[in-house]
Amino acid sequence: MIRMRAGAPRRTGRRPPRVEPTRIRRALTLGLPTVWGAVAITYKLACPLAQQNGLGARIVTSAVFFAVGTGLILHVRGGLLRELRQLREIAGAAQNVLLRPLPPRVEGLTVAAGRLSASRGATVGGDLYEVAATDHGVRVVMGDVRGHGLAALATAAAVLGSFREAAYEEPELPLVLRRLERALGRHLRERSRAEHPAGGGAAPETPVAEEFVTVLLMEIGPDGEVTALNCGHPWPHRLSGRAEPVRGGEPLPPLGPFPLPPELPLLHCGSLLPGEALVLHTDGVEDARDAAGRFFPLRDALTEAVRVPPVVPQAVIRAVYDQLLRHAGRLPADDAALLVLRNDRKWVPLQGEAVGSASTVS
């Protein structure tokens, strides 16, 4: 039984078909070049002036064909620009979903992140980061995929997707890194099969040549103790009145070219005290050069950014990017990502312990 809304007129007959905007654009895309071509052919065959051999007639004929050719070029250029704009919007939306906004606070830590693209038209890159509050502590990943574009975005998605599961499920940080390695290996093998279908579906010996991901995994415990596993990624800086590089030991090779070693010993990076902050970054920050070829002095820029306490993560990111752009005089040659985590946990003395012993609470 069909109910009619009171007072609504009863409609009879068929509803006229709706013409979709996509079909209209498609018709214009195909129709306009046809019209331009028909104009040129009609002029050449039917216009008496086009049959004459005089100088004036030749000038008019050349002008007509020049106008037709210009119109075709402008039409094709407009269509390509529209498609490029749509692709950039889609790619930007995909990357925003991949690198979703981080929460401002995670288990007593204030968090801020930023990205600086290598070019004005590039909205897709291979930088990746995530912060997860787990039962084992706050776990952080910062990584950089070699290359740019959709291939780098897909690789970053494979690594990030694995981290977002393994960070909560695995009790130890080395097991998280093993999961990332396996996820990257599967992704590269699938890409290789797609790019080389003639292989008969068999997994090739070398999935994708020269493909790798640098990864820094860190875990911040409830007491502020920081442990890490570093696969070829730049070490972070600790902000405490000034910027000091964190040195956790010799890093492992990047994920991809070589398998991880059997033993993955944790690197102890000291404690992140209340009020202090960690700054993680990709190599696009330190590798930015000025006109004379000098690298960007990241440590000096961070020290200047925290010269007046307290450390404000968002302000640190803005200050570093401002100084980086002034240093380079242009956009950097590589994508530059920053992640800042400030410890806002309270410093509470432990009862029954010696003076000077304390713990932190969220």
Give the pLDDT of residue 199.
Answer: 55
Note the pLDDT of residue 32: 60
Residue-level pLDDT at 25: 56
pLDDT digits (tens, 9 = 90+) for 14-67: 555 554 555 555 555 555 666 666 766 776 666 776 666 767 666 776 776 677
SS3 content of the chain, % helix, strand, coil (to 5): 40, 20, 35
For 257, residues 6+ apart whose C-beta sits below 8 A from its C-beta are: 210, 211, 212
pLDDT at 357: 43
Q: Which residues of the chain have pLDDT under 70?
A: 1-37, 39-40, 43-46, 49-52, 54, 56-58, 61, 64-65, 68, 75, 79, 81, 83-99, 118-125, 147-150, 196-210, 347-362
User: What are the distances in angstroms from CA 81 to CA 73, 76, 85, 87, 358?
Assistant: 12, 9, 6, 10, 61
CA distance linking residue 105 with residue 26, whole number of Å: 48
